[in-house]
Amino acid sequence: MRPISVQVRGLFSREEMDRYNNLWEVGKFCESQGRFDLARIVQHEVELLAQPAVEKLRTYENRADSPTTVGAPVIIDNRPRQAAVEPPQE
């Protein structure tokens, strides 16, 4: 079975994602049983399910009128914080 890209899966509705996951499980089972003829049919169904999302992704990528947006970088600092040292009291 060939997986669908994350970008395409991100455009799925909840129902489409559930259907994709179910088809994926069936296809992997067919492959594990050596039934590659059935896995090919399931793969074709997966491709049909993904086709509208692929077309939508193509229109997003080919928009010439929209400027390229670059988000601000996100800095993640996972270092443990050190407690502030207080001066000794007299």
Position 71 in a domain: no
Cα 81 to Cα 26, 77, 78, 84, 86, distances in angstroms: 48, 10, 9, 9, 15
Position 57 in a domain: yes
Say how many domains are in the chain. Answer: 1
What is the average pLDDT across 8-27?
93
What is the average pLDDT across 37-51?
94
Position 87 in a domain: no
pLDDT band (50, 70, 90) for residue 68:
low
**pLDDT greater than 70 at residue 23:** yes
Position 10 in a domain: yes
- Give dist(CA 74, CA 54) in Å, integer: 29
User: Which positions ≥6 away from 16 have C-beta within 8 Å?
Assistant: 49, 53
Closest by CA to 69, choosing from 78, 60, 82, 77, is 60
Give the model's pLDDT for residue 84.
Answer: 62
Task: Tell me which residue range forms the domain holding 31.
Answer: 6-61
Which residue type occupies 4? I
Position 77 in a domain: no
